[in-house]
Amino acid sequence: MHNLKYTPAVEKETEEIYHRVQNVITPARWQSMAPLIVEINRLKREKNAVILAHNYQTPDIFYGVADIVGDSLKLAQEATKTTADIIVQAGVYFMAETAKILNPQKTVLIPDPLAGCSLASSITPDDVALMRSKYPGATVVSYVNTSAAVKAVSDVCVTSGNAEKIVEAIESDEIIFLPDQYLAHYVATKTTKKIYAWKGACEVHELFTGKYVDELRAEHKNIVVLAHPECPPDVLEASDYIGSTAQMQTYIEQKQPARVVLITECSMSDNLFAANPNLEFIRPCQLCPHMKRIDLEKILHSLETMTHEVLIDPDIITAARRPIDRMLELS
């Protein structure tokens, strides 16, 4: 536990950041966060480090210490451009692996190596081999929410934002789509290609139901419902718009719906509400327990001690890079 103090100097240095998050973080909570933010930002400069933060990270991380924020696709794209020596991934383990695959010569740190993902842990390379033997000739399309080892035996990666486009762009008419059964189902509704899905699911998005969306509509009049394609089909049917976190953000920035609900992890709403205080966000809260393993204390500890370094077998890096590069080319 760090014993950093909220001094007038810290208050002044974080004044601008607090201005951006004041509608989602109370002054009392800010006093415990601001000294950590100052120290993390100082260490980043000293060590030439950058922090990549996923849209599901809390506003103190998202606005306070992150250098690059976004969905998995944006983090992957930006990770290839950084000139920093050290990348700290404020996200889950497969994202840190992706950063390492794209930057094998850099040091990639994850503040908590137990930050996993129910999708990534639902499938192994042996399972992919099994699918290939069952559907010979089909192209293996892997969601980025997979381990480096699974990417290494895949043909192309996708994110929730580009899955539709990439499935259409590849030559094969038969697709093994893994590991998210719901994203696979959603993509199958958008293409004439044959999709063979793995049965994984996001433990956060699968909790939502179409009935719950109906109840929200009954309780809050005139809401616009945006849902993530990792949600089950009845949720998507009950929603007004389906998109990745980046696509939800664009929708909100461009359309400015007066009352909106995001059917996804709850920090996403906090981060968008901080940037759009004029809109009313109905915030049903489903936390991702893996994303929430990352906090300011652990990020600081990670930078101080250079832990936990993400290490991947060089052969796996080479093999896993191919489907990611293919995705980046096609998107």
Helix (H, G, I), strand (E, B) or coil at 239: coil
Of 81-89, 103-111, 127-135, 202-210, which part binds ligand SF4 (CB under 6 A)? 202-210
Site string for ligand SF4, 75-104 (x = CB under 6 A): -----------------x------------
Of 9-17, 23-31, 106-114, 115-123, which part binds ligand SF4 (CB under 6 A)? 115-123
Q: What angle do CA 253, 255, 260 make, to 5 degrees?
A: 85
- Chosen residue from 69, 117, 123, 242 binding ligand SF4 by CB under 6 A: 117
Tokens of 147: 């381990």
At closest approach, how far in Å is the CB of 97 from ligand SF4? 13
Nearer to ligand SF4, 246 or 291 (CB): 291
- Chosen residue from 98, 118, 181, 267 binding ligand SF4 by CB under 6 A: 118
At closest approach, how far in Å is the CB of 198 from ligand SF4? 14
* Residue 265 engages ligand SF4 in binding (rule: CB under 6 A): yes
At closest approach, how far in Å is the CB of 247 from ligand SF4? 15
Nearer to ligand SF4, 89 or 145 (CB): 145
* Residue 181 engages ligand SF4 in binding (rule: CB under 6 A): no
At closest approach, how far in Å is the CB of 70 from ligand SF4? 14
Q: Determine the Cα–Cα distance for residues 224 and 260; give it in Å rounded to an integer.
A: 5
Of 129-137, 199-207, 268-276, 306-314, which part binds ligand SF4 (CB under 6 A)? 199-207
* Residue 236 engages ligand SF4 in binding (rule: CB under 6 A): no
| CA-CA-CA-CA dihedral for 298, 96, 17, 60, to nearest 10 | -50
Q: What angle do CA 279, 283, 285 make, to 5 degrees?
A: 155
Q: Determine the Cα–Cα distance for residues 26 and 28; give it in Å rounded to an integer.
A: 5
- Chosen residue from 37, 53, 202, 320 binding ligand SF4 by CB under 6 A: 202
Q: What are the residue ranges of helices labelled H in the chain?
A: 8-13, 15-21, 27-47, 59-64, 72-79, 93-102, 125-134, 148-152, 163-169, 181-188, 210-219, 233-237, 245-255, 266-275, 296-305, 314-330
What is the CB neighbour count within 10 angstroms for residue 290?
22
Tokens of 71: 């969905």
Instruction: Decide if 295 contacts 58 (C-beta within 8 A).
Output: yes
Q: Which residues bind ligand SF4 (CB under 6 A)?
A: 92, 117-119, 145, 202-204, 265, 288, 290-291
